[in-house]
Amino acid sequence: MTVYAYYRVSTDKQDYENQKSGVVRYCEYKNLTIDKEVTEENVSGKVEFKKRKLGKLIKELKEGDLLIVSELSRLSRSMIDTFEMVKVLKAKGVNVYCVKENMEINDS
């Protein structure tokens, strides 16, 4: 299993350090090591995930990998886009964990 962390900040007023600290705390609690971090700055969650670094990351993910985000809204601001993304991730057998919501999206 490879562990990926994804951070997205959409404005100059936001800072990815808050997102990162929550993800790091979760990984420490679960005794996980982050293998790769992807950060997008000044990118709106309204932009389709396929057109962002996130889309490239999703293509890279493999069955059994874990994608951790600080909260679900960091993936997308569009429910339709989020559902499409989850569908792609589930089909690949990738697990997703959202720290703020304490929610795991997986095959089960």
Which residues are the active-site residues? Answer: 10
- Long-range pairs, 95-98, Cβ under 8 A, ≥24: 95/64, 95/65, 95/66, 95/67, 96/66, 96/67, 96/68, 96/69, 97/26, 97/66, 97/67, 97/68, 97/69, 98/69, 98/70, 98/71, 98/72
